[in-house]
Amino acid sequence: MTDLPVLDHWIGGTLAAGTSDRTGPVYDPALGEVTKHVRYGSADDVDAAVATARAAFAGKSGWGRSSIAKRQTVMFAFRAILHERRDELAALLTSEHGKVLSDAAGEVARGIEVVEFACSMPHVSKGAYSQSVSTDVDLYSIKEPLGVVGIISPFNFPAMVPMWFFPLAIATGNTVVLKPSEKDPSVANWLAAALTEAGLPDGVLNVVHGDKEAVDRLLEHPDVASISFVGSTPIAQHVYETGTRHGKRVQALGGAKNHMLVLPDADLDLAADAAVNAGFGSAGERCMAISVLLAVDPVGDELVAKIQERMTKLVTGDGRKGADMGPLITREHRDKVAGYLEVAAADGASLVVDGRGVEADGAADGFWLGPSLVDHVGITSTVYTDEIFGPVLSIVRVASYAEGLELINSGQFGNGTAIFTNDGGAARRFQQDVEVGMIGINVPIPVPVAYHSFGGWKASLFGDSKAYGPAGMDFFTREKAVTSRWLDPSHGGLNLGFPQNE
């Protein structure tokens, strides 16, 4: 290790070095340089964080018994800090992820939406009451926290995805152990420190950095009641199967291969704008990115030309210098994504725009790959079937709406999709027929607002619970039903008369 700083865990309201001496590099992707190292937590470090969270939850004075008013006060204070210092958080995010500052600010804004939803917990977490379900018997339900919950978040949204989960977990009375991505870990510590500043008691939110060792211990730990995960489908399946095998409630959101179906009657300028924005924003490192455009004959040639013309105006470079698209997260990932362009050419597709030759406005060693457009992609090519997770937009030509719908429904994923059309009947038919969890009608990235819930179908979601919104609130609580009868005080006193039934 060099003299670069080392990012420690956050346990019990303060930085903690833990027991492991393993570390990993943290890069600035726009420079291609290591800027710090991050601790890789051991199983013992996870155990320490879980024990701290359990102690913070338990007892009459613990967070699990804290008043709704106290939790709401913390959430409102946390929201105020996020609003006041959102530019600081966005800059930190860009320095480790690489996405442009405007995109980072948008990510923070979407995370704040969930914090604001968490501020409404006094209303949305209310139970129900039925009076006189039997003679003098009432029944009511109450929602209680689970206990210690685990969150495992990905590199592509280091602020937003953790905020999909921990505000609701905390607002409903749980305590949290968060394992962020080791590729861009600093945002998690920033958020934990901000919550401490907002008045959150020590130990309610803990951060353990690391790799598979830390993840597996969270999945197996007997005192962790639930796991929330976002990442690739193979890892999501591992998290779901391992977590449930150890008796945990699990929501595991996996990968995607999102299609955008463009009908001949669509506004092609709108569709071209949407394809560029949804295909290349955040360098395509989004589970809701559009990676396949299904062009229904005869609009393919015109649409590809419009997309290509727009792509010539995009600037790839350092996200702090006004570029439209930043670098990819690591050199290895950049090389993997670029490899799909070689596969596309070998499979007979047309490389309309090849991002491998981009002249980036940034350091020579940055992890650059420019926006890439591949036309006439075959549906047996891995360029079509794999989740590439980079700035590669594939064009598949289809003869009809029905053919396009069949391609979408036959895929292994079911995260997001979009249709572009001016035909209301076609749009309504699409939303009924398509087997996907989140649908856009002339909207390319249909991410629900915070008071609805996020999640796909098929191999894009393991478990029964979507993220945030009402589903998130239900995930972090468990319901008790109480049947109650109180004796009527009027029965008391002496009465020597003959007993009578009433």
Report the catalytic residues.
287
Strands (E), 362-427: 372-375, 392-398, 413-414, 416-420
Here the tokens at position 92 are 């930190």
CA atoms within 13 A on the CB side of 218: 33
Distances (CA, A) of 198 to 41, 53, 78, 188, 193: 26, 18, 5, 15, 9
Task: Return the closest-CA partner of residue 162 out of 123, 183, 189.
Answer: 189
139 touches 154 (CB < 8 A)? no
Cα–Cα distance for residue pair 228/151, rounded to 1 Å? 5
Cα–Cα distance for residue pair 484/24, rounded to 1 Å? 56
Cα–Cα distance for residue pair 209/223, rounded to 1 Å? 19
Q: What is the three-class DSSP state of 85?
A: coil
121 touches 143 (CB < 8 A)? no
Say how many C-beta atoms besides its own lie within 10 A of residue 27's C-beta.
Answer: 24
Here the tokens at position 453 are 């819930």
**Total residues found in the chain within this entry:** 502
In terms of DSSP H, where are the helices of 146-185? Answer: 160-171
Cα–Cα distance for residue pair 206/178, rounded to 1 Å? 6
Here the tokens at position 142 are 């109450």
Cα–Cα distance for residue pair 483/478, rounded to 1 Å? 17
CA 318-445-125 angle, to 5 degrees, is: 110
Beta pairing class for 137-145 and 457-458: unpaired
β-pair partners for 484: 138
Here the tokens at position 420 are 């572009």
